[in-house]
Amino acid sequence: MKLSIRLVSRTLALAITLFQLPCAAPASAADEAPRPNIVLCIADDWGWPHASAYGDAVVGTATFDRIAREGVLFEQAFVSSPSCTPSRGAIITGQQFWRLGAGGNLHCEWPADKFAEYPRLLADAGYHVGTYRKAWGPGRGNPAGKPYKSVDAFLAARPPGKPLCFWFGSTDPHRPYEQGAGARAGLELSRVHLYPQFPDADVVRNDVADYYFEIERFDHEVGELLEKLAALGELDNTLVVMTSDHGMPFPRGKTNLYDCGVHVPLAIRWPARVPSWRKLTDFVSLTDLAPTFLAAAGVAVPAEMTGRSLLPILESDQSGRVDPTRNHVLVGRERHVQAQEAPEPGGYPMRAVRSDDYLYIRNFKPERWPAGTPDPTKAFKPDSWLADCDNGPTKRYLWDHREEPGVREQYELCFGKRPAEELYDLLSDPGQMKNVAGEPAYAEVQARLSNQLESELRALGDPRVDGGGDEFDTYPYYGGGGGQWSKR
Ligand SMILES: [Ca+2]
């Protein structure tokens, strides 16, 4: 009796399954849903971990925190290169900056029609594409889409029924700052985050607070943008990304491969497809954004894109390290401004691999100055020396106090020459201050990471890895003589 009941129920179950198959397979909810809007909100020089969602005690980032809370917060997001133009080119093409020819440098001419660019691919797929304020650049060209004078102007120009692909680019918190703005806004100077290479001085704390002030302004503006999308009834089917083009414009930050230069905030919200309240430790390169956007829109990802779509980890309901292969990233840099001693026009080429435990850096031209040439024989001329570090009170303080014990070491770490290889043990030295390359105890790790970096760069077509790449030093520079000190 029992057997026959079981047989009947199994037969029934099979019949029900067969009956359901034809309608279950082709039409999933995702297929029927309208295509999402794609909105990238990108700050200019906003570094990790300067958001309240990451535990910063002073800066208030209510909008970023909301995106993280209602979506996904990324703990390990990195740019391709800590310089505006190559970082943005890498985001647009989904490729590491060293693959972009002249596009790998600041103040370059964009190699038009050479690379697949996500804004153009989405326009071809029927998206209404546009930008507001700082998009790709500085440089000649515009692969990011048509610029609009305001968010409202972009929305008003949308043809009926088209999904949006919008680039909301702030120039915050790029220098220069209004000095004292942070303190006047009530930011608590005693609790601002100081990277270990910054002297603990009032002028430095004020400088960081002024940077925070601009982060808060960016965060507020992104909040206004979200309100506009909500008013249209489209916020929940919008893939919102909030991030930055690289780290903070401070010594050993921007233009450097330490975390202060390449580690950035990243939060992504898309309630229609992405489970909320999750914190991921997967390593992410911002080159992953373009394939993510294309995949979310149902557009094929070109093979030339070296980034990998984040959709699988976004759509997971897990936290922590969802994809175990996402355990490191590669970062690098070529020419920022023309900061080397005349007549040398070259940059400071370097590449690095960053994992949970180690940061390994290869400096290809260790005879050059990493932040540009200093000239201690003359009075300080901030517009001509150490030019790869943006001018500001912290840089000035390091220069003025560079002979003092304590500051001398910080100055050297920020501006002194560096060996061909650097290795930092992140478990004991998260601030990346003590280079252990060459120490016998680390010989095995150093050799392993050196080989890993070389083989991965080679696989990704990096001309530097086999002794090439000098073309990055000779591509035209359109920043002008004093122009490199304008917003960039
Ligand atoms: Ca920037």
Q: What is the pLDDT of residue 487?
A: 32
Q: What is the pLDDT of residue 28?
A: 47
Which residue positions in the chain have pLDDT lower than 50?
1-30, 482-488
Residue 171 Cα to ligand 1 middle (Å): 8
Could you give phi then psi for residue 395, rounded to 5 degrees?
A: -60, -45
Residue 42 Cα to ligand 1 middle (Å): 9
Residue 488 Cα to ligand 1 middle (Å): 6
Query: Is the bond preceding residue 22 a cis peptide, omega within 30 degrees?
Result: no
Neighbours of 417 (CB within 10 A): 11
Distance CA 452, CA 454 (A): 6
CB of 83 closer than 8 Å to CB of 106? yes
Q: State which amino acid sits at residue 27.
A: A
**213 lies in the same domain as 316:** yes
Residue 28 Cα to ligand 1 middle (Å): 41
In a domain, 2, yes or no: no
In a domain, 26, yes or no: no
Q: What is the pLDDT of residue 340?
A: 80
**408 lies in the same domain as 287:** no
Distance CA 18, CA 461 (A): 49
Q: What is the pLDDT of residue 338?
A: 83
Neighbours of 467 (CB within 10 A): 8
Q: What is the pLDDT of residue 382?
A: 55
**317 lies in the same domain as 422:** no
In a domain, 15, yes or no: no
Residue 173 Cα to ligand 1 middle (Å): 9
Distance CA 156, CA 393 (A): 42
The secondary structure of 87-99 as a DSSP string is HHHHHHHTS-GGG
**430 lies in the same domain as 415:** yes
Residue 451 Cα to ligand 1 middle (Å): 31
CB of 337 closer than 8 Å to CB of 484? yes
Q: What is the pLDDT of residue 33?
A: 74
Domain that holds residue 345: 331-477
Residue 462 Cα to ligand 1 middle (Å): 23
Residue 226 Cα to ligand 1 middle (Å): 23
Residue 46 Cα to ligand 1 middle (Å): 8
Angle between helices 393-400 and 407-415 (to 10 degrees): 120
In a domain, 155, yes or no: yes
Residue 382: both structure tokens together: 């901030």
Residue 107 Cα to ligand 1 middle (Å): 12
Dump pLDDT digits (tens) for 143-156: 999 999 999 999 99
Residue 467 Cα to ligand 1 middle (Å): 29
Residue 223 Cα to ligand 1 middle (Å): 21
Residue 248 Cα to ligand 1 middle (Å): 8
In a domain, 276, yes or no: yes
Residue 75 Cα to ligand 1 middle (Å): 20
Q: Which of 291, 324, 357 is the last residue of a domain?
A: 324
Q: What is the CATH number of the domain that holds 230?
A: 3.40.720.10
Residue 135 Cα to ligand 1 middle (Å): 10
Distance CA 442, CA 339 (A): 33
**343 lies in the same domain as 293:** no
Residue 431 Cα to ligand 1 middle (Å): 22
In a domain, 5, yes or no: no
